[in-house]
């Protein structure tokens, strides 16, 4: 159990001890700084500890934000300081330094110990998180009159109303903000009061979406209506899990991973359900379903690459960004710009409604059109920003981009051989080489026909150009486009060759293969965001890297007829899925058990 140490005698009539116990703390009282230091040393080393000024007056939620958030090793508000095990040694040293300055027999000095220790921690180089309190009160009044005034300010603000508002994302999509969050926050509170965790709600959302996919797979109008309703309810739960995490501060490494990966699994499983349902009615839309998944995944990779390349860049400004900020000051443009990028809320609402009232083919046509427009809009804006900003990319950013490329052993060997020469070439070479190789591969696959040797030759050239693209650090203004180009080339080649095979089962097998590979690419992003770096090199080598898989698929198409090609794609999909899922689950469960820092990834705007 966590320990809260009152650094002096309790103030008569104060509810502070009860408030701390309600937050899960065992409360111990010191009569001065020396005893507070002793109690701190006696507290279990593997547990959170807090120092609290007994004169503290404020809202319980202010204490909750400061003392229970698992994401920060140390945090403070006026009159209260907490440290998790990672910061315990630093806190002990800070308290020792503060108490050493207090003359013996001066117990009254213990009251300010929390604030002085927080200042000492920061002076010693330990980051102390100070949460935004807004209208919440957290004060340490010295006189009785000041204490009465502080209590009046506490009574004037509804602590629970603030807590509910803060459970909702500060930046969200139009549909989520006005159609979901007004009531989903109350569902989050209902879950919190019954002891449900965000991970349980996330799992319920996944199960609901899978049932929706099953309903869509029936191919009946009743099934489609039920699928649309269940998909919307799954989205409500998807919003609720994050709001529950913010409401109860139940952030975790495992939760961030589950939320991110389950969102993709739900959407792509629903695409498969629609394709199965259409097939029952005699309409083959597997190519459309796979195209929608390819387009959506490439959109996400553009987002990930751009953000990773620029989030810690220095001098990161541009006229385009300034124009965007000016547009944000005009209220209606904010919502219009958020809606046209078709975030998950608007996207799922469109899919649900169209599923209920039209056909799967219409759903995919609308999805492809909307996502294509959104992709063009966002990518064009980011290209303009990149060309006009004066930013210096950090080594961490270039390393992240290199990890996102998913370079396998073939392109890796080319990159090592060409690294010295590549550094002397113009800065446009990485992107130009990636685009040239990708375009050659996709065009040959599309124009040469199934089983053509030209496609196989283009895949071999793609291995060479991919190596040249990563032979130097990706530090150019547009080099963040290299990973999305690789994704489009690999996924597009699989889609085209499966469609050209013209046999039953080829496109569903290709759907499974792309889904397995996409999971690996999403998992890479979430590891980088969690500060763990990319998946191990052996995993990338075993599954071939993007260029190795593209070459393998081209070779299978060259050697096998359509029926055998479908079987081979299925086997490849199963093999890739088993390897990446096993390693991913092993890593994330080990990270959770090993006490990895809790994170809360807001993910895609809802």
Mean pLDDT of 367-378: 96
Tokens of 414: 């080319």
> For the domain that residue 507 is a member of, what is the CATH number?
1.20.120.1760
What is the β-pairing status of strands 49-52 and 80-83?
A: antiparallel
Q: Give CA–CA dist 316/392, Å, rounded.
A: 7
pLDDT digits (tens, 9 = 90+) for 504-550: 999 999 999 999 999 999 999 999 887 777 899 999 999 999 999 99
Q: Compute the Cα dihedral for 38, 44, 50, 55 and give only its sign.
A: negative
Distance in angstroms (rounded) separating the CA atoms of residues 507 and 496? 9
The answer on pLDDT for 106 being more than 60 is: no
**Hey, which residues does 82 pair with through a beta bridge?**
50, 75
- Pick from 571, 455, 560: which is nearest to 510 by CA? 571
Q: Indicate if the pLDDT at residue 591 is higher than 90.
A: no
Per-range mean pLDDT, top range of 251-265, 324-338, 480-494: 480-494
Give the residue from 134, 157, 180 where a domain finishes: 157
Give the pLDDT score at 426.
Answer: 86
Boundaries of domain holding 80: 3-157
Task: Classify residue 561: in a domain, yes or no.
Answer: yes
Rounded distance, CA 73 to CA 596, Å? 11
User: Hey, is 291 helix, strand or coil?
Assistant: helix
Left (φ > 0), alpha (ψ -120 to 50) or beta: where does 47 sit?
A: beta
The structural domain count of the chain equals 2
Q: Read off the pLDDT of residues 419-448 as tens digits, 9 standing for 90 and up.
A: 988 888 888 999 999 999 999 999 999 999
Distance from the first to the final alpha carbon of the chain: 36
The whole-number pLDDT of residue 108 equals 43
Q: What is the pLDDT of residue 109?
A: 46
Pairwise pLDDT comparison (421 vs 201), residue with the higher score = 201
Q: How many residues does the chain have?
A: 606
Question: 530 vs 457, which has greater pLDDT?
Answer: 457
Domain boundary among 128, 157, 186: 157
Q: Where are the extended beta strands (E) located within 135-222?
A: 138-139
pLDDT for the residue 595: 63
The side-by-side arrangement of strands in the sheet containing 74-77 is 25-29, 2-6, 49-52, 80-83, 74-77
* CA Rg value for the chain: 28
Q: How far apart are CA 3 and CA 237, in angstroms?
A: 34
pLDDT of residue 111: 57
DSSP string, 550-593: HHHHHHHHHHS-HHHHHHHHHHHHHHHHHHHHHHHHHHHHHHHH
Is 415:450 a contact under the CB 8 Å cutoff? no
Report the C-alpha gap between 288 and 368 in whole angstroms.
Answer: 8
Query: What mean pLDDT is predicted for residues 101-110?
Result: 54
Q: Identify the pLDDT of residue 99.
A: 85
| Rounded-to-integer distance, Cα 66 and Cα 248, Å | 13
Structure token digits, residue 154:
């506490």
351 belongs to a structural domain? no
| Token pair listed for 338 | 């958020």
The average confidence (pLDDT) of the chain is 91
C-alpha to C-alpha distance for 204 and 216, rounded to whole angstroms: 18
Residues 494, 455 contacting (CB under 8 angstroms)? no
The residue out of 157, 179, 211 marking a domain boundary is: 157
**504 within some domain:** yes
Interatomic CA distance for residues 586 and 582, integer angstroms: 6
Q: Which of 406, 432, 407 has its CA nearest to residue 527?
A: 406
pLDDT category of residue 107 using cuts at 50, 70 and 90: very low
Which residue has 């209260």 as its token pair? Answer: 80
Q: How many CB atoms are located within 10 Å of the residue 280 CB?
A: 12
Contact 302, 382 (CB under 8 A): yes
Which of the residue ranges 250-254, 261-265, 446-450 would you say has the lowest mean pLDDT?
250-254
Q: Do 53 and 115 contact (CB within 8 A), yes or no?
A: yes
pLDDT in tens, 333-365: 788 888 999 999 999 999 999 999 999 999 999
The residue with tokens 């939620």 is: 61
Burial class (CB in 10 A: 0-12, 13-18, 19+), 153: middle
Helix (H) / strand (E) element for 462: namely helix 453-469
Q: Determine what percent of the chain is predicted with pLDDT higher than 70.
A: 93
In the block, residue with structure tokens 């089962």? 505
- 170 pLDDT band, cuts 50/70/90, is confident
Q: Could you tell me the pLDDT band of residue 329, with boundaries at 50, 70 and 90? A: low
Question: Do the Cβ atoms of 6 and 28 come closer than 8 Å?
Answer: yes
Strand runs (DSSP E) across 166-273, as ranges?
none
Q: Is the separation of the CB atoms in 80 and 63 below 8 Å?
A: yes
Supply the pLDDT for residue 519: 97
439 located within any domain = yes
Quick one: which H or E segment has residue 4?
strand 2-6
Give the residue among 73, 45, 57, 77 at the shortest CA–CA distance from 15.
57
Where would I find the H helices in 475-561? 482-501, 506-529, 537-542, 545-559
- Asked if residue 430 is part of any domain, the answer here is yes
The answer to the question of residue 585 being in a domain is yes
- Dihedral sign for Cα atoms in the order 346, 351, 357, 361: positive
Residue 455, domain member (yes or no): yes
Round to whole Å and give the CA distance between 305 and 487.
Answer: 12
The Cα 349–Cα 377 span in angstroms is: 21
- The pLDDT value recorded for residue 330 is 63
81 pLDDT tier (thresholds 50, 70, 90): very high
104 belongs to a structural domain: yes
Predicted confidence band of residue 210 (pLDDT cuts 50, 70, 90): very high
Element (H, E) at 27: strand 25-29
């Amino acid at each position: 159990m966590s320990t809260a140490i009152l650094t002096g005698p309790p103030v008569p009539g104060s509810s502070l001890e009860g408030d701390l116990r309600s937050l899960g703390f065992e409360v111990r009282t010191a009569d001065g700084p020396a005893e507070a230091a002793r109690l701190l040393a006696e507290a279990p080393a593997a547990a959170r500890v807090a120092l609290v000024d007994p004169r503290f007056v404020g809202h319980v939620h202010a204490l909750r934000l400061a003392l229970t958030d698992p994401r920060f090793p140390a945090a403070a508000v006026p009159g209260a300081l907490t440290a998790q095990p990672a910061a315990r040694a630093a806190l002990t040293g800070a308290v020792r330094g503060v108490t050493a300055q207090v003359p013996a027999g001066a117990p009254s000095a213990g009251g300010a110990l929390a604030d002085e220790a927080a200042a000492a921690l920061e002076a010693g180089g330990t980051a102390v998180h100070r949460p935004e309190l807004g209208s919440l009160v957290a004060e340490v009044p010295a006189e009785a009159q000041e204490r009465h005034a502080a209590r009046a300010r506490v009574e004037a603000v509804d602590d629970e109303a603030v807590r509910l508002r803060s459970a909702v994302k500060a930046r969200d999509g139009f549909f989520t903000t006005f159609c979901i969050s007004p009531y989903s926050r109350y569902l989050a509170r209902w879950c919190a009061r019954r002891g449900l965790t965000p991970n349980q709600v996330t799992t319920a959302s996944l199960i609901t979406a899978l049932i929706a996919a099953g309903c869509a797979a029936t191919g009946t109008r009743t099934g489609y209506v039920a699928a649309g309703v269940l998909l919307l309810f799954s989205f409500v739960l998807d919003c609720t899990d994050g709001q529950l995490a913010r409401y109860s501060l139940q952030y975790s490494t495992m939760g961030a991973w589950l939320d991110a990966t389950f969102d993709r699994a739900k959407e792509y499983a629903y695409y498969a359900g629609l394709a199965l349902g259409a097939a029952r009615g005699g309409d083959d839309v597997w190519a459309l379903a796979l195209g929608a998944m390819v387009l959506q995944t490439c959109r996400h990779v553009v987002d990930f690459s751009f953000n990773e390349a620029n989030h810690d860049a220095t001098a990161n400004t541009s006229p385009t960004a300034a124009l965007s900020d000016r547009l944000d000051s005009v209220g209606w443009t904010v919502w219009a710009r958020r809606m046209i990028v078709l975030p998950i809320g608007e996207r799922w609402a469109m899919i649900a409604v169209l599923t209920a009232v039209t056909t799967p083919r219409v759903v995919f046509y609308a999805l492809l059109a909307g996502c294509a427009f959104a992709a063009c809009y966002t990518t064009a804006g980011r290209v303009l920003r990149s060309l006009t900003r004066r930013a210096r990319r950090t080594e961490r950013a270039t390393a992240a981009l290199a990890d996102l490329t998913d370079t396998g052993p073939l392109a890796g060997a080319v990159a090592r051989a060409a690294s010295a020469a590549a550094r002397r070439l113009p800065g446009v070479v990485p992107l130009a080489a990636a685009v040239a190789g990708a375009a050659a591969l996709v065009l040959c696959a599309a124009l040469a026909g199934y089983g053509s040797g030209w496609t196989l030759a283009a895949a071999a050239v793609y291995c060479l150009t991919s190596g040249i693209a990563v032979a130097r650090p990706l530090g150019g203004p547009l080099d963040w486009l290299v990973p999305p180009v690789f994704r489009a080339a690999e996924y597009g080649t699989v889609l085209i060759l499966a469609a050209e095979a013209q046999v039953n089962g080829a496109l569903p097998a290709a759907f499974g293969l792309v889904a397995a590979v996409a999971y690996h690419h999403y998992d890479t992003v979430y590891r980088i965001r969690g500060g763990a770096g990319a998946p191990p090199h052996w995993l990338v080598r075993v599954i071939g890297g993007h260029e190795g898989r593209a070459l393998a698929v081209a070779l299978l198409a060259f050697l096998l007829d359509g029926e055998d090609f479908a079987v081979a794609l299925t086997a490849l999909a199963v093999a890739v899925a088993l390897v990446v899922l096993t390693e991913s689950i092993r890593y994330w469960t080990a990270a959770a058990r090993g006490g990895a820092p809790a994170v809360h990834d807001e993910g895609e705007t809802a």
